[in-house]
Structure 1
Amino acid sequence: MSQTLTWGILGAGNIAGVFARGLTNSKTGKLLAVGSRTQESADRFGDTWNVPRRYNSYEALLADSDVQAVYISTPHPMHAEWAIKAAEAGKHILCEKPIALNHADAMAIIEAAQRHDVFLMEAFMYRGHPQMQKLVELIHTGAIGDVRIIQATFAFRAGFNAEGRLFKNELGGGGILDVGCYCTSLARLVAGAATGKSFADPTQVKATGHIGDVSHVDEYTVASLAFPGGIVAQLLTGVQVNAENEVRIYGTEGSITIPAPWNPGAGQTTKVIVKRHGEVSEYTFETEDLYGVEADTVAAHIEERQSPTMSWEDTLGNMRTLDQWRAALGLTYATEQPDGPGQQLPVHKRPLAVRAQTIMKYGSIAGVEKPVSRLVMGVDNQTNWPHASVMFDDFFEQGGNCFDSAYIYGGGLCEKMLGQWIKQRGIREQVVILDKGAHTPHCNPQALTSQFMQSLDRLQTDYVDVYMMHRDNTAIPVGEFITVLNEHKNAGRMRAFGASNWSMERLQEANDWAAAHNMSGFSAMSNNFSLARMIDPVWDGCIAASDPEFRAWLEKTQLPIMPWSSQARGFFTGRARPDDHSDAELVRCWYSDDNFQRLDRVNQMAQQRGVLPITIALAYVLNQPFPTFPLIGPRLLSETRTSLPGLSVELSPEDVRWLNLEA
């Protein structure tokens, strides 16, 4: 049975009132408190909806220990901050759609819910209507054959108000986030049902539309989506156009129409109409209060911490699609820019700080005075500010302080993102920057200097902690490289330097030459090093250090290695199977009999220790008899989270040898 919940409403606007009315029809929920920005508005709302406790701040509402669940009804840009703070306060969360402005902020909310073990659901109330369950059933049973085209429309013409949330860029205005999110979520629901899944993400998103000259938001727009299985969708939304606001689905044998898909009122009769080979079938439903149903859905799934009505992965996929829709129009919000309002702070709007409970470990690199986190975040995929800032903030809060980038990553954009973040957060002396340059074909002393000076400019700093040559050029004597690197080190532009993708022989030659000429040598290196043997270089010029001879040399010299692809680019995540050749690069670089034997042993040990296989694979790199600082390349916050436990797994020398088929 569903448990009863005492609710607090965070925000006192129109939608908050709609939810308050819904709670009066809920079987499980009781409205106890409201929090607003002023006592006057809290009291007004409380008088209207008979709310016993009225707070003049959101913080005070979250501090009420009798409030078990909160409904977040603030404007879009405030959702992430208050959902995270609600999770930290131990409250279960129903957050009005869209859950955040973008996919990055949505990730941060979900990670907070996971970390604090609370329920979280994005409030798409239409998903709880019986007609949606019937729709999925009809698709599953092939009522219209194979689904081919989905048409979903949700738009309205609002009176223009330059300061209102619908027409204000700073408030996340426009049709896509306000009501286009419904169309997107339904298309993904139907495409998923048609392909045997709970939802499906589009493989392509294209769009046209009108962005207002004054509002700078999408006032009306149409998107075309392509899904697996040959399914296409046409979505129409807007805040300056009237539309029929219905759903039509066309298949090989017929069609389905839902005339009132989004928000039928309590007591209203709705229909799902099926036409097949000239015959018409109608399924009718009497609507309950959808917001009351929504509250009951939260109560019913509290123990699972999420609901299949709108799961976390469904929410993330929907937000990613909305990001793509806006990107197709060239629409960004002011708060998504590095210099935008509030961007000096993380999404939770507190100063950046390492969390009290962190398992991060640290080591040292000669020449670098700061401790260096044993895990290093790769900065090679963060090309927009929301994604970059959320990923970097989370890694720093987890205790990570070392970031790896390069002159060539993102055409320089990745260095710029990292530099902008460090400047915005004011943490230059708290982080270790590992930067690389002089990649083939520009691997020579002159290009090294030219690129390095550009990198410093992009990074907005006068020095890097560790500089790595990205490649080697064996046509140039090692002394020429060592000389120019010492010049930069002596000038204070780098604290230490090293080499990436150099052979063992050239590394030794370079350090011998440096010692003979009373100069600094390489303090670290960055070749591939992982449990899985790299069969074929991932990129031209790549060199691995995983073979026995190289490992023996590292153990003898104790030269720290900061290895890339330390987790073999996903080989140990479940993606690699001998019969699965869908990922051509994974097959080319990592598929071999001995690697699959290593994978079997990783799976065995992971099961014995109750951890993920990827955790064992990373622990192998961390537990070597020489200093290692593995580079990880998470694209998602969940990937950072699942990498960290590798720090806590202790492997004996015998364990290490066994995993590597040496025992």
Structure 2
Amino acid sequence: MKPVRWGVLGNAKFARDHMAPAIHMAENAELAALGTSNPGSAKGWDFCPGLKQMSYEDLLADPSIDAIYIPLPNHMHVEWTLKVLAAGKHVLTEKPISMTAEEIDILIAERDRTGLLAAEAYMIVHHPQWQRARDLVQGGAIGKLLHVDAFFSYNNADELQNIRNRPETGGGGIRDIGVYTYGSARFVTGGEARDLSCRMIRENGVDVWAQVDAMIEGPLGRATYIAMTSMRMQNRQEVTFHGDKGLLKVAHGPFNANLFAEARIELHRDQTVTSERWPAANHYKLQVENFGKSIRTGATYPCPLEFTRGTQEMIDRAFETAREISW
């Protein structure tokens, strides 16, 4: 299978540290170019010898590039995703791919018009940890699902110039990490959130703490749901699926597998705990390989824009129903 030649649009730290190395390591991919606002000045890309540096516009015009990964600030995602599609290239855009669900409708229409692959870089669905969690919950391993709770927090209070702390760049905890607490519940259960409400704490125009309460409804029935996100609390990542015969914990850094801890799930039934581990799986690399497979073979991509739109609808609803509180 012919490798997909990739370009990265934007010299973002996350791209340098995670996604670009994943593209470089992926079996069916070749990291060929970097688009920057100051070509030739980008540092930290030595892991990829021969990488071409060029302007954003030259990257889009380069006929040798098949696909582009976009790690730009949130408010720029839709604009540049549309530009990449207009340039005739496939595009993988960092989450959140848009600021509203309605914007995703525009992306879906352009994807369908061009026949190109466009997707949000929502990597967890590519990890066997989450695929196994989905199979266990939907397969009845915990009995009837009754409750889901999800937590994701970190503390960047000392980084006020970080784009996550700036409203003009689409910052805030929900847009940064709510995609994980919301989307993971949807992925595992196959359900959608109903009767959603939100409590929120804001600082300098962005949400720094938010708790969503809802009902998850779908093929497994109805379950209560609580999700908490914060940019002002100690690191915590955990999702629990609680049934009448057991519970499944996806913990130990489930959203940053093998970065904070080894990827693992725990199935609790009666007095027995069964663990499964994935010490070597790299969800960024798997995401790139699945993207390339879809381009080259037409295989169904595991995270289409339609799934992304469902999570964005939850994000939109959280802001619409937000009741502000204080610490």
Q: 1:242 aligns with which of 228, 234, 250?
A: 234
Question: Does residue 253 of structure 1 match 2:242?
Answer: no
Question: Does residue 227 of structure 1 match 2:216?
Answer: yes
Q: 1:202 aligns with which of 158, 173, 193?
A: 193
Structure 2 CA distance for aligned equivalents of residues 176 and 118 of structure 1: 29
Corresponding residue SS for 2:155: coil
Cα 1:102–1:45, aligned 2, differ >3 Å: closer, same or farther? farther
Q: Offset at 1:303?
A: 5.4
Deviations 1:116-158 (A, max 9, x none): 1101221111211111111111012200001111111111001
Corresponding residue for 2:168? 170
Aligned residue identity for 2:268: K
Does the CA-based 8 Å contact 1:255-1:276 persist in structure 2?
A: yes
Does the CA-based 8 Å contact 1:94-1:120 persist in structure 2?
A: yes
Corresponding residue for 1:291? 284
Question: Does residue 154 of structure 1 match 2:152?
Answer: yes
Deviations 1:19-41 (A, max 9, x none): 11112321111100000112254
Corresponding residue for 1:26? 26
Structure 2 CA distance for aligned equivalents of residues 191 and 143 of structure 1: 13
State the identity as a percent. 26
Does the CA-based 8 Å contact 2:145-2:223 persist in structure 1?
A: yes
Deviations 1:302-356 (A, max 9, x none): 257684421221011111111111222279xxxxxxxxxxxxxxxxxxxxxxxxx
Q: Offset at 1:47?
A: 4.5
Does the CA-based 8 Å contact 2:137-2:241 persist in structure 1?
A: no
Q: How does 1:516-595 map to 2 (within 5 A)?
A: none
Q: Offset at 1:48?
A: 5.9
Corresponding residue for 1:217? 206
Corresponding residue for 1:183? 181
The alignment of Structure 1 onto Structure 2 pairs a total of residues equal to 319
Corresponding residue for 1:128? 126
Please state which structure has a larger fraction of its residues in helix. 1
Does the CA-based 8 Å contact 2:145-2:244 persist in structure 1?
A: yes
Deviations 1:276-304 (A, max 9, x none): 12222112222322211111010111257
Does the CA-based 8 Å contact 2:92-2:119 persist in structure 1?
A: yes
Structure 2 CA distance for aligned equivalents of residues 71 and 46 of structure 1: 15
Q: 1:282 aligns with which of 275, 282, 298?
A: 275
Structure 1 CA distance for aligned equivalents of residues 299 and 167 of structure 2: 31
Cα 1:306–1:300, aligned 2, differ >3 Å: closer, same or farther? closer
Does the CA-based 8 Å contact 2:88-2:114 persist in structure 1?
A: yes
Q: Offset at 1:88?
A: 0.8
Structure 1 CA distance for aligned equivalents of residues 311 and 299 of structure 2: 16
Corresponding residue SS for 2:263: strand
Cα 1:110–1:305, aligned 2, differ >3 Å: closer, same or farther? farther
Corresponding residue for 1:76? 74
Does the CA-based 8 Å contact 1:152-1:248 persist in structure 2?
A: yes
Aligned residue identity for 1:151: D
Deviations 1:86-119 (A, max 9, x none): 1111111111111111112222122211111101
Corresponding residue SS for 1:173: coil
Aligned residue identity for 2:8: I
User: How large is the RMSD of aligned CA atoms in angstroms?
Assistant: 2.1
Corresponding residue SS for 1:253: coil
Structure 1 CA distance for aligned equivalents of residues 235 and 224 of structure 2: 20
Does the CA-based 8 Å contact 1:267-1:288 persist in structure 2?
A: no
Question: Does residue 100 of structure 1 match 2:98?
Answer: yes
Structure 1 CA distance for aligned equivalents of residues 142 and 2 of structure 2: 39
Corresponding residue SS for 1:245: strand
Corresponding residue SS for 1:271: strand
Q: How does 1:6-25 map to 2 (within 5 A)?
A: 6-17=5-16, 18-25=18-25
Larger of the two Rg values belongs to structure: 1
Structure 1 CA distance for aligned equivalents of residues 299 and 38 of structure 2: 32
Does the CA-based 8 Å contact 1:180-1:238 persist in structure 2?
A: no
Structure 2 CA distance for aligned equivalents of residues 177 and 240 of structure 1: 15
Deviations 1:554-582 (A, max 9, x none): xxxxxxxxxxxxxxxxxxxxxxxxxxxxx
Cα 1:79–1:51, aligned 2, differ >3 Å: closer, same or farther? farther
Structure 2 CA distance for aligned equivalents of residues 46 and 286 of structure 1: 26
Corresponding residue for 2:143? 145
Cα 1:28–1:268, aligned 2, differ >3 Å: closer, same or farther? farther
Structure 1 CA distance for aligned equivalents of residues 278 and 131 of structure 2: 11
Cα 1:306–1:113, aligned 2, differ >3 Å: closer, same or farther? farther
Does the CA-based 8 Å contact 1:129-1:287 persist in structure 2?
A: no
Corresponding residue SS for 2:125: helix
Aligned residue identity for 1:209: M
Structure 1 CA distance for aligned equivalents of residues 228 and 63 of structure 2: 43
Does the CA-based 8 Å contact 2:148-2:224 persist in structure 1?
A: yes
Corresponding residue for 1:324? 317
Does the CA-based 8 Å contact 2:126-2:286 persist in structure 1?
A: yes
Does the CA-based 8 Å contact 2:290-2:301 persist in structure 1?
A: no
Corresponding residue SS for 2:72: coil
Cα 1:130–1:261, aligned 2, differ >3 Å: closer, same or farther? same
Does the CA-based 8 Å contact 2:265-2:276 persist in structure 1?
A: yes
Q: Offset at 1:258?
A: 1.3
Corresponding residue SS for 1:244: strand
Structure 2 CA distance for aligned equivalents of residues 151 and 164 of structure 1: 28
Give the TM-score, by structure 1 length: 0.46
Q: 2:113 aligns with which of 93, 98, 115?
A: 115
Does the CA-based 8 Å contact 1:35-1:61 persist in structure 2?
A: yes
Does the CA-based 8 Å contact 1:77-1:100 persist in structure 2?
A: yes
- Gap regions ≥5 residues in structure 2: none
Structure 1 CA distance for aligned equivalents of residues 247 and 168 of structure 2: 40
Structure 1 CA distance for aligned equivalents of residues 130 and 119 of structure 2: 17
Does the CA-based 8 Å contact 1:306-1:312 persist in structure 2?
A: no
Deviations 1:236-288 (A, max 9, x none): 11111124211111001110011131112379642211111222211222232
Corresponding residue for 1:384? none
Corresponding residue for 1:61? 59
Cα 1:189–1:152, aligned 2, differ >3 Å: closer, same or farther? same
Cα 1:11–1:250, aligned 2, differ >3 Å: closer, same or farther? same
Q: Offset at 1:75?
A: 0.5
Structure 1 CA distance for aligned equivalents of residues 109 and 119 of structure 2: 13
Does the CA-based 8 Å contact 1:31-1:51 persist in structure 2?
A: no
Q: Offset at 1:45?
A: 5.0
Does the CA-based 8 Å contact 1:267-1:287 persist in structure 2?
A: no
Aligned residue identity for 2:24: T
Aligned residue identity for 1:5: V
